[in-house]
Amino acid sequence: MFIEKINISILRLPFIQSFKTSFGTINAKRTVIVKLLSSEGIIGYGEAASFDAPFYNHETTDTCFHMLKTFLAPLILKKDLQISEAASLFRRIKGNNIAKCGLEMAMWDIQAQKERLPLKTLLGGIRNRISVGESIGIKASIRDVLQEVDLRLNQGFQRIKLKIEPGWDLNVIKSVRNEFGGIPLMVDANSAYSLNDLPLFNEMDNYNLLMIEQPLDSDDLWDHAKLQKIVRTPICLDESIKNSEDARKALEMESCRIINIKIARVGGLIEAKRIHDHCARKKIPVWCGGMLETGIGRAFSIALSSLENFKYPADMSPSKFYFQEDITDTFDVGSDGYIVVGDNVGLGFKVKDEIIGKYTIHQCEIT
C-alpha cells in the first residue's frame, strides 16, 4: 500500500468512573488516534492507547504522539510498503511499542479493506464469538467491589479479575470467594510485589485463582520463574512480555504458564500473532488484555481474540462502562458473556470522525 497522508491526534475522553490500579488512578483516557490515507483513497484507523504517565510501561500519551510524528510516520509516508516491511522498519527504533502499534493497526485496517475482508479473516481467526471477563479496579471499600462483582456476574461476564496491591489483596479475594463461591476469579498486581511477599502468594494458592497476573517487576523474568516454582496457581505475564522473544524466554525459564497479549504493549498485530503462535506450539494458553482503549483499539483486540489459542476470557468490557460516548459504533457483551465477532470488512466498526473531532485536543497532519 502507498500512504499519501498521515493524521495523528491526541484525544481526551473523560471517564464516567475512575479506574484504580496498583500504579495509580486513571480519571480520563488521553489516547492517540492515527488516521492513514492510501493512494487508492482508503482510510485506515489505529490507536496508540498508552496511559498518561509512565507507570504501566515507559511510554506516555505524549511520547507516543512525539514518536509517531517525529520518527515513525516519516518511515512509511509516500512509500509503497507491505505491513511486514513497515514493521521491520519500526523494529530499528528501540521500544516505544504502543506508538508503533498505532501506525501498524491503521495499515491492517487499510489492507483488510483492500482485500474486502474482515480483520479476523486476514489474521486467521476462527471464533465467531469471544468470551469476556471484567477487570475490577481498586475501590474505596470491599463492599463496592462486591457490588460490582454482583452486577457484572448478572450481566453475564464470564470471569472476574480483581486489581490488587499491598494491603488490598487477600482481604478482597477472601470476601469475593465468601460471597460468590467458585466463580472464575483471578488477580492482577501490575508489578506491585517482590519475592519478599512469598507468604502472601503461598496463601493465595488456597483460593483457587485462575491465575495471578504480573505479580513482580516488569523486567524480571527470573524472579517470576522462582515464584512459579513455588506457587501452584499459574502466573500470567502482562508487562514483562514486550515481544515474541520475551515470550520464548519466559516459557523456556518457566516464568509463567499463561500470557496476556495486548496488541499495544507488543507493538502491533504481527508481533501479537507471533506470540500467539509460539504459545500455541508450546501449548501455553493466551488471552487478550486491554488498555482501557476506545472502540478503535478494542476492534483490533476483538479480531485478534478470534484466534484459536485465546483460551481465557478477554478484558474487553464495552466502552460505555468507561466513556460517555465512544468514537466508534460500540459492541455489547451478551447475557451469555460473549461478544459476537462480526464479518464487516476492515476493523469492523464505523468510526465517527465528528466525535473524534469533538475530543481532539492536539493534532498534526503529515503529507
Chain residues that interact with Mg ion, rule: CB under 5 A: 188, 213, 238
Give me the least distance between CB of 163 and ligand OSB, in Å please: 7
Give me the least distance between CB of 53 and ligand OSB, in Å please: 11
Give me the least distance between CB of 349 and Mg ion, in Å please: 24
Q: Does residue 158 belong to the site contacting ligand OSB (CB under 6 A)?
A: no
Q: What are phi and psi of 304, to 5 degrees?
A: -60, -40
Angle formed by the axes of helices 142-155 and 170-180, to 10°? 40
Q: Provide, for the chain, the percentages of residues in helix, strand and coil under a 3-state DSSP scheme, each rounded to the nearest 5.
A: 40, 25, 35
Binding range to ligand OSB, per CB under 6 A, among 60-68, 112-120, 250-258, 287-295: 287-295
348 binds, options Mg ion, ligand OSB, none, Cβ within 5 to 8 A by partner type: none
Among 9, 21, 228, 240, binds ligand OSB (CB under 6 A): 21
Q: Which parts of 237-276 interact with ligand OSB (CB under 6 A)?
A: 238
Q: Which one is catalytic: 69, 242, 262, 273?
A: 262
> Which of these, 238, 280, 270, lies nearest to 255 by C-alpha position?
238
How far apart CA 308 and CA 356 sit, in angstroms, is 33
Q: Which one is catalytic: 35, 100, 163, 273?
A: 163
Binding mask 117-146 for ligand OSB (x = CB under 6 A): ------------------x-----------
Per the annotation, the verdict on 163 as an active-site residue is: yes
Residue 281 burial (10 A CB sphere; 0-12, 13-18, 19+) = exposed
Q: Does residue 317 belong to the site contacting ligand OSB (CB under 6 A)?
A: yes
Q: Does residue 292 belong to the site contacting ligand OSB (CB under 6 A)?
A: yes
Residue pair 313/85 in contact (Cβ under 8 Å)? The answer is: no
Binding range to ligand OSB, per CB under 6 A, among 59-67, 108-116, 199-207, 285-293: 285-293
Q: Does residue 291 belong to the site contacting ligand OSB (CB under 6 A)?
A: yes
Q: How many CA within 13 A on the CB side of residue 360?
A: 16
Among 22, 61, 63, 190, binds ligand OSB (CB under 6 A): 190
Phi-psi sector, 225: left (phi>0), alpha (psi -120 to 50), beta:
alpha
User: CA dist 276 to 125, 176, 243, 283, Å?
Assistant: 11, 31, 11, 10
Binding mask 297-316 for ligand OSB (x = CB under 6 A): ------------------x-
Give me the least distance between CB of 157 and ligand OSB, in Å please: 11
Give me the least distance between CB of 238 and Mg ion, in Å please: 4
How far apart CA 354 and CA 109 sit, in angstroms, is 19
The cell for 314 is 478477554
135 binds, options Mg ion, ligand OSB, none, Cβ within 5 to 8 A by partner type: ligand OSB
> Which of these, 12, 94, 75, lies nearest to 294 by C-alpha position?
12
> Which of these, 212, 210, 180, 177, lies nearest to 197 by C-alpha position?
212
Please list the active-site residues: 163, 262
